Amino acid sequence: MAGKSPRGFKTAALFTLFFVLLAGIGTVIYCFYLSFEIEKRFSGRRWQIPSRVYSDVTLLYPGQRMNKALFFSKLKDLGYKKVSQPPKIKGEMRFFDSVLSLFLKDVQRPGMRREGYLVRIDLNADRIEAIRREDTREPLDILEIEPEALMLFFGDEREQRRLVSIDQVPEHLIHAVLAIEDNRFFQHPGIDPIGMVRALLTNLRSGSIRQGGSTLTQQLAKNYFLTPERTFSRKIREVLIALTMEALYDKKTILEIYLNEIYFGQKGAVSVNGIGEAADFYFAKSVEALSLDECALLAGLIKAPNRYTPHSHPDAAKSRRNRVLHAMFQEGYIDQKQLKDAISIPIRTAAIERYGKRAPYFMDYLSEQLAHLYPKEVLSGSGFSIYTTLDTQVQRAAENALSEGLKRLENHHPELKRPKREKRLQGGVIVMHPKTGAVLAMVGGRDYSISQFNRITLAKRQPGSTIKPFVYLSALDRLNPASMLSNAPITIMVDGRQWQPKNYKPIYKRKIRLKDALAQSVNLATVDLAMDVGLEKVAKTIEAFGFSTPVEPYPALSLGAFEVIPLELARAYCGFAGDGVIPFPLSLKDVYDEKGTALQRKYMTLNPVTSPSKAFLITSMLEYAVTRGTGRSLSRLGIHFPAAGKTGTTNAYRDAWFVGYTPEVLALVWVGFDDNTSMELTGAEAALPIWAELMSAILHRISGNEFRVPEGIVTEVICVESGQLALRSFCPVVEEEFFLKENKPEMPCSLHAPRFGRQEEGR
């Protein structure tokens, strides 16, 4: 066979050179393209970071009462772990012999910074006696427990990430990652030929890609720019991207991006990405606080996070951690003693913090408010920290009280049971701070998974007798709590038809004190009062309290025969508890961007609707309603602190209400069927017990103080039967009563005055 001519070899060589040059030019052009893409990506927002929603902080102080079950549940949700010995690491707690030892976790988030420390909380039954910081032995007047994560506004990727600067990362962590993942990171140009040859030989022997031999830069290129499939073409692109990245950025920047990008496992359906999120998830610590053994464990996770997770595979995690420690020793990063000490430390991780959409009805309400401030894509990708007014202990108590209360009603009244879950007896609870409008808890229905309809914010129901305090308020310019009202039957013409209101139960007195009429929810006296005052004035008084539903001046208005939204009714009652001022229902406190800059501060909006003295007078009468009126069963249910409130029952028993408050907290409870089926139960029977159970559980919110008496209020001793100033020697039943200074009784009792001789002064 004749050999090829020299001319043929020359032609082949030229063609080869041409193709090599062409490939080289193409590679250079492609790298230029990559450089633009990389710079474009790195110069803008590098990650879509979900915004986090947090509850309010919890404040503890000496003298405060505590519901231990609720508080310990809160600590569990925060990721604190119970231990049998005194706590030694952050995130541990121990309750022994009436002493709670709590090693607070680090808090490093926008708008909130705190280094963890050990505290001792001494309890006496359900009351905090003292709080002390153990490292300094300093007594604390107040202790702040960090807020709980409630929800995240996720994008499509469902990733959690906390960005950290390379300057925040401890040396041990950097050395651990380099030792186990890329020990020549600071020497190679983005690819490591030695590692690549080793991987190539392994892959050729196996006939498939089993080993990547990738550097940290290549791993970053793969995670950040490429899909996870294992092909040779993708590997070539990975190499080119890595080389381009190394040409554009210094090693420190590449390492910082890598540490914020790398995958560290799963938190339910959400992936944990970046060293900042991993430090918090596995150890409840900031990155700066990680110890040597913890750094080694996290570095070991990078290879296979789900295989080496310490939560479910502690033995594998320990073995992998120790391998990292040995690699660090071989590279000279740690000495023999450090190696020995770190290997001897057992695997100790934080409890997995509960995640999910907590307080779902409240979250929906918050989301609606946030939607007016920020687009959805901003919330799901900008890493905001959103702090709310929610008190998770109050929320849990409200959910429990409603759930147990509805079950109890169905058990005691089997006719209320419905086979279809969507047709079952329903309820709603709203808890607010009456002076600021802060929403502490919201339960919009029995089961969010069955019905997402929020009955607190969206339902329109008749308020029944809960509207009566507003009717009585409209009369306080010329009447007072001791004024006498008519309880006689009455017939009123309405649109050409006769309307005859009736009392819920027989009351045979033809005259009744205004105070007793409100406390006992007497319909005839209330209608008489409304007609006397004027229906137009009553309607205007009700409208002034912020109801968005129509209020028409019909006689039945005085008995609550119109519709209200429960949240608006609760807000209106805040006017009585809050010195005559109604607040805006506040769910949002602060919003911070990922750099800690405050973006939105939602200050409370207040609207004066009546005078402090008139508001107090209604409160005083509603206190009487819960001790001597329709709410008197509260004492039997364990409510022994000062409280004011009003029951409500609508026509045909379709709605049952109780709205009650203390100086610090107001709660509304509604019970009924969505389709308006009759329950044959009153507000005192259906709603009031749920309110009592809720309030008995939230001890930390209730001081037990009396309602403050404002200026413009005076006291007088009156005759209960006549409502006039008491003649102490003659009136059989007397009572001290609050009055407006300008509208108090002036005449002594004419009913019991002696018929001859000198009359006694009425004081």
The catalytic residues are: 181, 465
Nearest to 492 by CA among 561, 535, 555, 551: 555
680 Cβ contact list (under 8 Å, min separation 6): 413, 415, 653
DSSP calls for 304-342: -HHHH-TTT-HHHHHHHHHHHHHHHHHTTSS-HHHHHHH
What is the spatial distance between Cα 641 and Cα 142, in angstroms, rounded to a whole number?
Answer: 24
Buried b (16+ CB within 10 A) or exposed e, 240-259: bbbbbbbeebebeebbbbbb
What is the spatial distance between Cα 548 and Cα 458, in angstroms, rounded to a whole number?
Answer: 12
What is the spatial distance between Cα 483 and Cα 575, in angstroms, rounded to a whole number?
Answer: 23
Nearest to 148 by CA among 107, 102, 92, 101: 107
SS (H, E, C) 606-635: EEECCCHHHHHHHHHHHHHHHHHCCCHHHC
Nearest to 403 by CA among 442, 441, 446, 361: 446
DSSP calls for 673-696: -TT-------HHHHTHHHHHHHHH
Q: Residue 91 in contact with residue 81, Cβ under 8 Å?
A: yes
The one-letter code for the residue type at 250 is D
DSSP single-letter state for residue 706:
P
CA atoms within 13 A on the CB side of 522: 29
What is the spatial distance between Cα 109 and Cα 114, in angstroms, rounded to a whole number?
Answer: 9
Pairing between β-strand 99-103 and β-strand 92-96 as defined by DSSP bridges: antiparallel
What is the spatial distance between Cα 525 and Cα 481, in angstroms, rounded to a whole number?
Answer: 13
CA atoms within 13 A on the CB side of 111: 24
CA atoms within 13 A on the CB side of 710: 17
Nearest to 215 by CA among 192, 189, 232, 197: 192
DSSP calls for 401-414: HHHHHHHHHHHH-G
**SS3 of residue 244 by DSSP:** helix
Cα-based angle 569, 572, 576 (whole degrees, multiple of 5):
130
Strands of the 270-273 sheet, one edge to the other: 159-161, 270-273, 263-267
The one-letter code for the residue type at 469 is P
Nearest to 478 by CA among 523, 528, 529: 529
- Beta bridge partners, 499, equal 492
User: If you search the block for the tokens 């807020």, which residue do you land on?
Assistant: 147
